[in-house]
């Protein structure tokens, strides 16, 4: 997909903006609605920070809903082919689309243990990881406090959104 310029993101209609960027934060278009109010953006970084601010300024309940909008890694929605396009391609990039039975069971156990511990899905920016390092990361994070994990999950969500935006807008390449 060809990337759009920041000028284009500034020029499209409000509805068009929310439709185009509503998936940056998983199934949570209210983030794009909040960011849209800060247009025009000077560049990629300013645009991304507008999205981050929309999340950071939301209520605790909205933040928790955003976290809970994420599907489990190699979970039920992935198996059923019900992931959003973005999530499906991220999970594939870390090799989660082709797990052996044993690996799949390790993910299932990890997801269950994490949910029991924190009552949220385990969220990590999978594009920075392999399947092995995801499981290691979950193991390390399992001894965190609830508050630390909420903070970590939101940090990972911002990273995921930054990479998604980098795929769409010029100037976001690393």
Taking every pair of Cα atoms in the chain, the longest distance, rounded to a whole number of angstroms, is 49
Nearer to ligand GUN by C-beta: 39 or 68? 68
To which residue do tokens 């299932």 refer?
Answer: 108
Cα-to-chain-centroid distance, residue 90: 9
123 binds ligand GUN (CB under 6 A): yes
Q: Check residue 87 for interaction with ligand GUN (CB under 6 A).
A: yes
By CB under 6 A, residue 131 contacts ligand GUN = no
Is 70 part of the annotated catalytic residue set?
yes
Q: Which C-beta is closer to ligand GUN: that of 43 or that of 146?
A: 146
Under rule CB under 6 A, residue 70 binds ligand GUN = yes
| 154 binding ligand GUN? (CB under 6 A) | no
For residues 134 and 164, is the Cβ–Cβ distance under 8 A?
no
Distance CA(97)–CA(73), nearest Å, equals 10
Contacts of 32 (CB under 8 A, 6+ apart): 17, 18, 21, 22, 24, 25, 51, 54
Q: Which of 67, 110, 125, 161 binds ligand GUN (CB under 6 A)?
A: 125
Cβ-based neighbour number of residue 140 at 10 Å: 9
Nearer to ligand GUN, 6 or 160 (CB): 160
Nearer to ligand GUN, 38 or 65 (CB): 65
Q: Footprint of ligand GUN on residues 7-36 (CB under 6 A)?
A: 26
How big, in percent rounded to 5, are the helix, strand and coil portions of the chain?
Answer: 65, 0, 35
Please identify, among the stretches 44-52, 69-77, 98-106, 166-174, the one whose residues bind ligand GUN according to the rule CB under 6 A. 69-77
**Smallest gap, in angstroms, from Cβ of residue 136 to ligand GUN?**
15
Counting beta carbons within 10 angstroms of the beta carbon of residue 101, is it exposed (0 to 12), middle (13 to 18) or buried (19 or more)? exposed
Beta strands in the chain, from DSSP E residues, in sequence order: none
Segment near ligand GUN (CB under 6 A), from 41-49, 52-60, 68-76, 138-146? 68-76
Residues involved in catalysis:
70
The binding site for ligand GUN (CB under 6 A) comprises: 26, 70-73, 87, 90, 121-126, 160
């Amino acid at each position: 997909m060809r990337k759009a310029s920041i000028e284009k993101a500034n020029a499209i209609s409000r509805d068009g903006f929310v439709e185009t960027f509503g998936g940056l934060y998983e199934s949570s278009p209210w983030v794009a609605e909040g960011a849209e109010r800060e247009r025009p953006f000077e560049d990629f970084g300013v645009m991304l920070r507008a999205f981050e601010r929309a999340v950071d300024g939301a209520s605790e309940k909205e933040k928790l809903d955003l976290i809970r909008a994420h599907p489990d890694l190699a979970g039920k929605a992935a198996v059923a082919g019900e992931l959003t396009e973005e999530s499906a391609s991220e999970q594939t990039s870390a090799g989660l689309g082709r797990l052996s039975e044993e690996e799949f069971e390790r993910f299932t156990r990890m997801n269950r243990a994490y949910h029991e511990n924190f009552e949220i899905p385990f969220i990590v920016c999978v594009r920075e990881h392999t399947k092995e390092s995801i499981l290691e990361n979950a193991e390390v994070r399992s001894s965190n406090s609830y508050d630390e994990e909420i903070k970590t999950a939101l940090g990972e969500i911002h990273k995921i959104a930054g990479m998604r935006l980098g795929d769409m807008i010029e100037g976001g390449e690393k």
